[in-house]
Amino acid sequence: MSEENNKGNYGADQIQALEGMEHVRMRPSMYIGDVGVRGLHHLVYEVVDNSIDEALAGHCDKVDVWINEDNSVTVKDNGRGIPVGIHKKEGVSALEVVMTKIGAGGKFDKDSYKVSGGLHGVGVSVVNALSSLLKATVYRDGKVYEQEYQRGKTMYPVKQVGETDERGTLVTFRPDEDIFQQTIEYNYDTLASRLRELSYLNKGITITIEDRRVIEENGDFKGETFHSTEGLKEFIRFLDGSREMLIADVISIEGEKNDIPVEVAMVYNTSYSENLHSYVNNINTHEGGTHLSGFRRGLTHTLKKYADASGMLDKLKFDIAGDDFREGLTAIISVKVQEPQFEGQTKTKLGNREVSSAVSQAVSEMLENYLEENPNDAKTIVQKVILAATARHAARKAREMVQRKTVMSGGGLPGKLSDCSEQDPEKCEVFLVEGDSAGGTAKQGRDRNFQAILPLRGKILNVEKAMQHKVFENEEIRNIYTALGVTIGTEEDSKALNLDKLRYHKVVIMCDADVDGSHISTLILTFFFRYMKELVEGGYVYIATPPLYLVKKGAKKEYAWNDADRDALNEKFGGSANIQRYKGLGEMNASQLWDTTMNPEFRTLRQVAIDNGTEADRIFSMLMGDEVPPRREFIEKNAVYANIDA
């Protein structure tokens, strides 16, 4: 066929498709959120979601993901295979339509029960548009078909390349470096966490990951297999692995109300925190929404009714609030909604009204049965609730003290805070520094116009193990609230944070680059994660990165942030340089600290983001909780400083 003929065949639909793909490349963030690390990983989720959909429709039970050596990613499933026949309306193969038409997805298959979908079901064509190369291979009807695309543009019509007795779809794509300018390097742990999560949310599917960039000692590629038979119940056990359960086993609820599939699993543990995770169509709804409020309502109503009837509340002198029913509760709520309405700042809040009553009813009915059938657990739960209510009354006094101090502001700033002169919060930064001596250096080294210093005394309270009122009574923590100018909400929603009067738009944790320092950073992060989540989600929290080494030779002098850089500098200086290892911030003088860690022109600040809220919860509870073995294992696996201090 001649070129002209090709062009002649180019119908209005194809031209529209092309424009769609170009729009994705022009405005990628509109489709995948951002073009940083998050967006990069999003591409994988988008492709995987298509396979999960095929599995939810009952046609597939295996999804394999591998990260290739060149950072391309392959996703393979054993589903029906994307159809390759000519699509009547579009005039090209259905495969090509799926791959090049924005918003086509699997919609032309009316029977498909499409409920999953990344952010949010934008379709694999978006991935195609943002890939320098994508290859789709379809195993279907005994044949193998193939088609390739460059930056979303079809390279050739679908062709048959062989025969097979397998079925399925295989997609390999390489993210386009022109789009993902920051990096195209995939993080194994990020992908593995999401795939593990998906396997719990969709029980019965086997999902594997293989990192072909890394060969293990036994000669195999690094990898894992995820498969869950009990779904959310197992997910809870995994999440709460380092917490101590209060009841015999995880309570699980599964059913359908008004055509909305509802799955809930929950357990009470000995901690004081509430950990609710909610999902809609496999998407983590960080901001909650109607499914979560339905769960809360169902839980409170049912437990209250049971507690009242039990007579256990008769001697209680104060009433029980909604919060009290959720202290030490870990729960996951997962619903599948045909046409979800997402609202909120990050579009992760479910708006559909009808879902609230569906979840509330499902939870009420099934929990009521559970309590009747398990009186011992029921009693334990009610006792826990009473304890929580009692502590809440103590907490209120402590909280009112924080509140009063914060509200009175003006002269009310903590004495230890060395404030900056600038008044515009957007320009202001505050450094939380461990210890008074490092605090002193930071105070001398800073630019006092816009940088404030708040020294913290040694190790701050481990909020993971403390009751709420202890947290609010803690002086260091009270100083953080007052210095930041944030206030905590009313009793009903006792931890909601008000950021309207936030005094600094950069809150920087600056600790030593050693084991102790990272422990302190983790304690502070735990506090932020549990009590000031909105601050983290708003992107206000940063971690400073002080250098590890000073490499000196004669008049030449440079800093190194890791061993490789240190060795490279040594080589650059001609070898046998003098190497000073900074054990702590205190070993640097004020100008060194400014040059390397505080000066906006040269420093590297790491912004703290919650990438996977459910996984973050698990890690914090493990790192800061009671059980030592899982913590040790994690630290051994992830320790960056270990060999330095050994």
Q: Which listed residue (141, 254, 368, 514) is catalytic? A: 514
Stretch that binds ligand 0RA, among 80-88, 150-158, 216-224, 528-536 (CB under 6 A): 80-88
The least CB distance from residue 46 to ligand 0RA, in Å, is 10
Contact call for residues 239 and 275 (beta carbons, < 8 A): yes
Stretch that binds ligand 0RA, among 20-28, 48-56, 447-455, 485-493 (CB under 6 A): 48-56
DSSP-derived 3-state class of residue 301: helix
The least CB distance from residue 374 to ligand 0RA, in Å, is 42
The least CB distance from residue 206 to ligand 0RA, in Å, is 15
In 250-382, the DSSP E strands lie at 251-257, 260-268, 275-280, 283-284, 329-335, 342-343, 349-350
Give the span between the Cα atoms of 433 and 539, in whole angstroms.
Answer: 19
**Torsion-angle region of 12 (φ positive above 0: left; ψ -120 to 50: alpha; else: beta):** alpha
- Should residue 507 be labelled a site residue for ligand 0RA when binding is judged by CB under 6 A? no
- Should residue 121 be labelled a site residue for ligand 0RA when binding is judged by CB under 6 A? no
**Residue 339 among the catalytic residues:** no
What sign for the dihedral angle of Cα 77, 80, 85, 88? negative
Joined together, the tokens standing for residue 504 give: 């600094």
- Should residue 207 be labelled a site residue for ligand 0RA when binding is judged by CB under 6 A? no
301-315 exposure pattern, b = at least 16 Cβ within 10 A, e = fewer: bbbbebbeeeebbee
Give the span between the Cα atoms of 300 and 132, in whole angstroms.
Answer: 52
Q: Which listed residue (96, 323, 512, 615) is catalytic? A: 512
| Per rule CB under 6 A, count of chain residues that contact ligand 0RA | 12
Nearer to ligand 0RA, 87 or 297 (CB): 87
Binding residues for ligand 0RA restricted to 232-251, rule: CB under 6 A: none
Q: Is residue 186 exposed (0-12), middle (13-18) or buried (19+ Cβ within 10 Å)?
A: buried
Nearer to ligand 0RA, 79 or 121 (CB): 79
Nearer to ligand 0RA, 169 or 441 (CB): 169
Joined together, the tokens standing for residue 171 give: 């997609």
The least CB distance from residue 35 to ligand 0RA, in Å, is 24
Beta bridge partners of residue 284, listed in sequence order: 279
Work out which of 41, 42, 80, 566 binds ligand 0RA, going by CB under 6 A: 80
- Should residue 77 be labelled a site residue for ligand 0RA when binding is judged by CB under 6 A? yes
Nearer to ligand 0RA, 120 or 213 (CB): 120
Stretch that binds ligand 0RA, among 76-84, 142-150, 180-188, 233-241 (CB under 6 A): 76-84
Residue 2 one-letter amino acid? S
Distance of CA 553 to the CA centre of its chain: 44
**Residue 516 among the catalytic residues:** yes
Nearer to ligand 0RA, 109 or 595 (CB): 109
Nearer to ligand 0RA, 74 or 169 (CB): 169
DSSP-assigned states of every residue in 217-249: TTSSEEEEEEE-SSTHHHHHHHHTTTS-BSSSS
Nearer to ligand 0RA, 85 or 574 (CB): 85
Binding mask 55-74 for ligand 0RA (x = CB under 6 A): --------------------
Nearer to ligand 0RA, 50 or 352 (CB): 50
Contact call for residues 588 and 544 (beta carbons, < 8 A): no
Work out which of 51, 116, 285, 441 binds ligand 0RA, going by CB under 6 A: 51
Residue 334 one-letter amino acid? S
Nearer to ligand 0RA, 51 or 348 (CB): 51
- Should residue 106 be labelled a site residue for ligand 0RA when binding is judged by CB under 6 A? yes
Nearer to ligand 0RA, 83 or 340 (CB): 83
Contact call for residues 106 and 43 (beta carbons, < 8 A): no
Q: Which listed residue (49, 327, 377, 434) is catalytic? A: 434
Indicate the pairing of strand 541-544 with strand 506-510: parallel
Contact call for residues 105 and 114 (beta carbons, < 8 A): yes
Indicate the pairing of strand 487-488 with strand 549-553: unpaired
- Should residue 123 be labelled a site residue for ligand 0RA when binding is judged by CB under 6 A? no
473: number of Cβ within 10 Å:
19
**Residue 314 among the catalytic residues:** no
User: Could you say which DSSP state residue 596 is in?
Assistant: I
The least CB distance from residue 574 to ligand 0RA, in Å, is 56
- Should residue 96 be labelled a site residue for ligand 0RA when binding is judged by CB under 6 A? no
Binding residues for ligand 0RA restricted to 398-417, rule: CB under 6 A: none
Q: What distances in angstroms separate CA 225 from CA 205, 282, 499, one per listed residue? A: 10, 19, 42
Binding mask 169-188 for ligand 0RA (x = CB under 6 A): x-------------------
Q: Which listed residue (61, 230, 343, 516) is catalytic? A: 516
Stretch that binds ligand 0RA, among 22-30, 77-85, 382-390, 482-490 (CB under 6 A): 77-85
Q: What is the dihedral of CA 185, 190, 194, 195, to 10 degrees?
A: 70
Give the span between the Cα atoms of 327 and 334, in whole angstroms.
Answer: 20
Q: Shortest CA distance to 477 belongs to which of 490, 495, 500, 450?
A: 495
- Should residue 50 be labelled a site residue for ligand 0RA when binding is judged by CB under 6 A? yes
Give the span between the Cα atoms of 533 and 531, in whole angstroms.
Answer: 6
Binding site for ligand 0RA (CB under 6 A): 50-51, 54, 77, 79-80, 82-83, 106, 109, 112, 169
- Cite the active site residues: 434, 512, 514, 516
